[in-house]
Chain A
């Protein structure tokens, strides 16, 4: 069919220009269009000349036309082979001459002829026509007409018979072109023309295979029905319009819905009082009542319910219940005991709490410091006693150390510290230096803690190992140093003879002295030995000595264990010294000085006992600490500080006392000052009192002057010039209340150096000002209430106190003063209204019982008479109607 059609068209458009043909050729396939135009036009496909002549002979007309399309049409099968080649070529050449493609582009397998659908005549044709351009419109139209006629006819037939097009023309046409198919026609194997066509598979195509088959009649009918009833669908409206319409519709709907509430709303709005409290019934109010209503719904609930309400269970419970109760019984004694216990515990808890509260309230820094120290002490004691606690402590310390090493928080790392270091320590004041030292010390402490622990644990080891590891120079020198320090320290120790206790007894003191002397001697000996050792060491190996100022002591020798022994005597002490001694030589010098002093005194003693020693050391260190406060490497150590807490406390307390004393003095002074002040105040007070008295006394005494002579005279001749005087009075009062404007005066210097100004008189603006103020005064005088009353003066003074009795502005809903004042004219109190009216006059806008649930408004149909009333309600009749309506409403509401 399609082929036939095209033929017709081709024939019809014979006289058409070449362009059209080109189009057709294009539509046929790109092979031609990619070829040269000349060739296309002149020769058509590449055919062997023998064949060509043969063809010409067969159909001279077509041959003369030399139309490609016809060529093809005629020899569809014949040229099939030949077609393949140019197609491939075209594809190859495509990139070289793509321009040709611009004119027309369609899929390669496009065939416009084979469009059997309904739209074909309308859309397809016009589409093609449009593609072709306007030049061949008329031609197309004629073509189209023919086609259309055919189509229409077919369709009519189809419509009438309800059979497919194939039944009428299609088959006929198909007969003319015999195409052998490899497979039988079916929906899985579409016909060739379908494949070759525009690739639109129509419903018809799908239906064709089931044409004659049974069981599909229903489907067919339905499709037919659909075909018949098919109507064109309008394009949808723009979104905006559509939504607008939607909204309109919704509005209309909702308006209708809402307006039915209008009368209810209006009623409530107009009612002077709205009552809530109709239904006070709150339903179930107890848990029991609610629970009794419970019905099991879910499976689980039902199961539980069946178990709970099981007769057997109930019975068992009943039977056992008494026993259970018996078990529950507690003897009175037990109960009392329990009660007592609870009370006691509670009491303890309470006491503890109170104590804690009190303690928490203490703000004293000293107290807290001491407390912390105590805590530490306890901890250390615990550490000694309890291996667990020791472990824990060690762990903690380790953690802290790790943290410190990681952050180096105290290693002059902070901004502040860096800044200070940048400036130089010497530039700082003592406090800063001390703080820096403290920080460093803290760092040392934190990083070294672990060592000390290790030391203490392996002190014996190290001491024993020392003999073996003599080669360890540092260690030896250190030990030597330690020993020296220790002895020095002992020498330094300035014994404080306790003033009280057993030690203060004379024989004890003597004994102590003796021992001390011995110790000092020993220490001196030791020191000498050390020095000798050092000297030898220096001589022996000066290399390590040059390394640092510290290592002057050199290698430890046989004496080392000796010193160790000494150090062992007081481990703590040693440690202390060790700590204290990690600084420069200055300190050493200082110590030596002290030492010398100590030697001079000759009352230094040793071997009093470790505890005592400790205390001494602590004391000394403290004193030192106090004495050279500015020393950067302060020698006080933590532990020493702990043990020194007592003495320090003492010191502190002394200091405190001193301070207190000072304070007291100050306070006394202050008190004296205060007293002075008070005295002064008292004086002033008394003065003021006197003054007050004076006032008080003067107030009643206020001079009641005797009527003056003039007044007496006036009395005598009263009535003579009464009116004149009154006039004068009035004038005075008027002047007072509306002062007369100042007369304009010539400004000094104004126009005085030319005479022009003098002649001219005052400047105009002055005159004008004066005139204005004068006029203003006149006006205000005229406005006075007593303007017309010659014999009356009404004061216009504003009473400030009475101002609060009037409103400054109109209260909100009112817009006119008259209306407001008229609405306020009636008192609404119980004194001026009968009992029946008071209630309604004073009823609040909303009357509601407490606890009543206000339910949402309920829709009630409006009665007819109410409606009419509403309509009537307007203008003057408003009042009466309203009152009726309102009362009716109220009744209703309350119902």
Chain B
């Protein structure tokens, strides 16, 4: 009994710690009494808040995720879907199915953030929206064009489809709302739901960010690394990662024309990548038959596994699904030691080529898009058992949906909040090295200096020396003096740039050879 209580307390403490979001401020060395008092009061309130939150969590979120546990020589990866089906209830067994649509080619899938709806897109123009709860087909349209990707926007009402030439936005009824011509022939689409940005990578390796609320093009960058269809958004910080054929993974944000991070992950082309929901882990797979798990805080490899994956996906609970050919492998790390082991396997019927694996949020279900339609299998312990209706509600009514839409629009984050470490927001900026002031700034400064020189009042001098001509002359002199340093600086800069030009290899080369100089990526 006592032990139980202790255990309970420990649990509570853990939860409180979670809600405290880090160490309390150490007030001991603080000399400012007033601040000390204020912070003490604050900390106390935080503590209270965390405690209540922990309690509430205990009361309101009672479900715990379960997972397969092997007994004896049993291995979890040997457990087949059929054996699982035998053990579970009817409602869960509804999630095991195969939809065979052989004509309209390999299917790709997307779930809404609450996992209620699924959009499936066949390569040959077949679009379908399915309510996963009732397994009703809501809408089905045929765009009669190549469809490369489909992605839901902020709710199930809108989805974007990457078609042959341009991406389009449709609503739930299958009405085409927008044609996003600027994106070009898009290969992969991603939606950043906190920022309301639709990110796309097109055939020519151009990355586009478009704000779907105002329709504004937020960013348009040429990656300069060639065509790729490997693109994934980091749900933690909104950074978009691209896998390239050179084996590099680049990470982008909409306010920077150069990648934030460029890392060489594989010697061969990157075939797919996925992010853990907490944003600290990244899984990549290369064509050289390797799957790597990276720690994004240190940019180091944690684990390298043999195997090829055409598609990778992390579940909410951190299971990693890798699909290749007609074979699907689930890796799991239940110990928390960040050592991923094989958890489950699933093989599709022979000849099915898995195109996309995607865990369904808040369900222990893995959706598989393959060349012959789509399938759904059960992966115990993959989904988050408790949902927060403020974040995503699988049982959302239309009214709730409407309210949430407004709320999420009000809470929309500006694109500049996308950064590698979003916890940096609101902190003190690290002292930077002096940036060169821009031309405009220099000009403004000069203007100001001139203005001040103009505005200076002269002393009233004796009669002979107070002539207007003399005063004007003097004023002119003052203005000149104020200008001088700026002009000197300009001259210096000019000189420097000229020198640089001289040293540029392109200019050094004879004209005939200049065209062979390798063009740098912009």
Interface residues of A (CB under 8 A from B): 269-270, 272, 699-700, 704-705, 707, 711, 714-715, 718-719, 722-723, 725-726, 729-730, 732-733, 742, 780, 786, 789, 791-795, 797-799, 801-810, 813-815, 817-826, 831, 833-834, 836-837, 840-841, 875-876, 878-880, 882-883, 886
Contact = CB atoms under 8 A, between A and B. Distances in A.
A719 B419 CA distance: 30
B260 A802 contact: no
Interface in B22-52: 22-28, 30-32, 34-46, 48-49, 52
B191 to A, nearest CB: 21
Given A799-B419, A882-B41, A809 B52 contact: no
B424 A875 contact: no
A797 B256 contact: yes
Contact of B427 (A707, A824, A841, A886): A824
Complex A-B, nearest 7 residue pairs according to Cβ-Cβ distance, in ascending order: A837-B49, A822-B25, A806-B429, A719-B268, A801-B416, A791-B264, A834-B52
Given A806-B429, A821-B427, A792 B263 contact: yes
Quick one: which of A711, A714, A718, A786 has the most chain B CB within 10 A? A718
Contacts of B31: 815
Contacts of B248: 722, 726
Nearest to A793: B262
Contacts of A808: 428-429
A822 B56 contact: no
A700 B182 CA distance: 6
Contact of A805 (B38, B46, B263, B426): B426
Given A803-B429, A805-B426, A878-B40, A718 B245 contact: yes
14 contacts: A707-B204, A707-B227, A714-B226, A718-B247, A789-B300, A794-B261, A794-B299, A802-B416, A809-B428, A820-B427, A822-B23, A841-B46, A841-B49, A878-B36
Contacts of B42: 823
Given A726-B247, A804-B416, 17 more contacts: A272-B38, A718-B268, A719-B268, A726-B246, A729-B262, A733-B258, A789-B300, A799-B419, A801-B255, A806-B427, A819-B39, A821-B427, A826-B20, A831-B390, A836-B48, A882-B37, A883-B44
A744 to B, nearest CB: 12
Nearest to B500: A742
A878 B27 contact: yes
B380 interface: no
Contacts of A722: 246-248, 264, 267-268
Nearest to A783: B433
B181 interface: yes
B25 A886 contact: no
B469 interface: no
B269 interface: yes
Nearest to A821: B427
A815 B258 CA distance: 35
Contacts of B20: 826
B461 interface: no
Given A711-B226, A715-B245, A806-B428, A813 B184 contact: no
B398 interface: no
Contacts of B41: 272, 882-883, 886
A821 B428 contact: yes
Nearest to B259: A795
A58 B433 CA distance: 125
A815 B32 contact: yes
Contacts of A799: 253, 255-256, 416, 419
A786 B299 CA distance: 9
Nearest to A836: B52
Nearest to B31: A815
A579 B475 CA distance: 57
Nearest to B268: A719
A703 to B, nearest CB: 10
B1 interface: no
Given A726-B246, A826-B46, A793 B32 contact: no
B442 to A, nearest CB: 16
Interface of B: 20-28, 30-32, 34-46, 48-49, 52-53, 56, 181-182, 184, 203-204, 226-227, 245-248, 253, 255-256, 258-265, 267-269, 287-288, 299-300, 390, 415-417, 419, 424-429, 432-433, 435, 499, 503, 520
Nearest to A742: B499
B386 to A, nearest CB: 16
B426 A806 contact: yes
A821 B255 CA distance: 25
B428 A805 contact: no
Contact of B32 (A813, A818, A878): A813
A879 B424 CA distance: 28
A819 B22 CA distance: 12
Quick one: which of A723, A725, A805 has the most chain B CB within 10 A? A805
A714 B300 CA distance: 27
B299 A789 contact: yes
Contacts of A723: 264, 267
Nearest to A791: B264
Nearest to A812: B35
Given A719-B287, A726-B264, A806-B427, A780 B433 contact: yes
Contacts of B23: 822
B246 A802 contact: no
Contact of B269 (A718, A732, A819, A836): A718
Given A704-B204, A805-B426, A882-B37, A794 B260 contact: yes
A795 B256 contact: yes
Nearest to A738: B433
Contacts of A826: 20-21, 46, 49
Contacts of A819: 25-26, 30, 39
A841 B268 contact: no
Given A704-B204, A826-B46, A882 B419 contact: no
A725 B52 contact: no
A742 to B, nearest CB: 7
A384 B204 CA distance: 102
Nearest to B496: A742
B45 A841 contact: yes
B428 A707 contact: no
B400 to A, nearest CB: 16
B246 to A, nearest CB: 6
A834 B54 CA distance: 10
A658 B400 CA distance: 77
A801 B414 CA distance: 10
Contacts of A831: 390
B261 A805 contact: no
Contacts of B433: 780
A190 to B, nearest CB: 79
Contacts of B261: 792-795
A408 B199 CA distance: 90
A823 B38 CA distance: 10
Contacts of A878: 27, 36-37, 40
A882 B40 contact: yes
A700 B181 contact: yes
B506 to A, nearest CB: 15
Contacts of B269: 718-719
Nearest to A785: B299
Given A718-B268, A797-B256, A822-B24, A707 B226 contact: yes
Nearest to B390: A831
Contacts of B46: 826, 841
Contacts of B262: 726, 729-730, 733, 792-793, 795
B288 A719 contact: yes
B28 A876 contact: yes
B263 A793 contact: yes
Contacts of B26: 819, 822
Nearest to B246: A722
A715 B37 CA distance: 64
A875 B435 CA distance: 44
A797 to B, nearest CB: 6
Nearest to B217: A699
B258 A795 contact: yes
